[in-house]
């Protein structure tokens, strides 16, 4: 049988080894989680951006003939003042599109890459490692006379 100081030394070494292994596992797991979460965020952001670009392109294709018809209709209604109707339609369309574009840019700007899963996993693992260190500290304090 080993003397108590050797048992305490072996237990301390075992605890330190446990903590080191756990810390290594935590780092490896959290790096993997961060990479997966980053990929997920980039994919979602790209999808939203692609939808916005596609919708804008389709809007432009559909809006041009409608705007031309509106210019012609207002020009006839205003006794042949086609230039005035073109300016009016252009101004209204530009302001409307500007407002919609600002809203879309703001929505993309507010997109958060917050990495909730990575942060919560890191906190849980840090708490566990801190508990192991407290256990080690308490064990070392009890071993001393």
Could you give the C-alpha distances from 23 to 16, 26, 35, 131, 133, in angstroms and in order? 10, 5, 18, 12, 11
Task: Show the domain range for 68.
Answer: 4-143
Domain count for the chain: 1
Mean pLDDT of 64-74: 90
Per-residue pLDDT at 2: 42
pLDDT of 3 over the 70 cut: no
Whether pTM exceeds 0.85: no
Element (H, E) at 44: helix 4-77
In sequence order, what DSSP letters do the residues of 71-104 get, joined into one string? Answer: HHHHHHHTTT-HHHHHHHHHHHHHHHHHHHHHHH
Beta strands in 1-137 (DSSP E): none
| pLDDT digits 0-9 by tens, 89-141 | 889 988 888 888 888 778 777 767 677 777 787 788 778 877 877 777 776 66
Per-residue pLDDT at 76: 93
Categorize the per-residue pLDDT at 42 as very low, low, confident or very high, splitting at 50, 70 and 90: confident
Categorize the per-residue pLDDT at 72 as very low, low, confident or very high, splitting at 50, 70 and 90: very high
| pLDDT digits 0-9 by tens, 20-41 | 888 788 888 888 888 888 888 8
Separation CA 122–CA 34 (nearest Å): 10
């Amino acid at each position: 049988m080993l003397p108590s100081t050797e048992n305490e030394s072996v237990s301390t070494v075992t605890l330190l080894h446990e903590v080191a292994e756990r810390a290594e596992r935590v780092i490896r797991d959290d790096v993997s989680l961060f990479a997966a979460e980053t990929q997920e965020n980039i994919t979602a952001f790209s999808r939203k951006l692609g939808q916005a670009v596609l919708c804008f392109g389709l809007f432009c294709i559909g809006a041009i003939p409608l705007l031309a018809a509106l210019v012609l209709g207002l020009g006839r209604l205003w006794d042949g003042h086609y230039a005035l109707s073109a300016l009016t339609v252009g101004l209204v369309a530009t302001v409307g599109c500007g407002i919609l574009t600002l809203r879309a840019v703001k929505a993309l700007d507010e997109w958060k890459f917050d990495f909730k899963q990575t942060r919560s996993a890191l906190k849980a693992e840090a708490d566990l490692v801190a508990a192991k260190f407290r256990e080690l500290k308490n064990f070392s304090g009890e071993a001393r006379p």
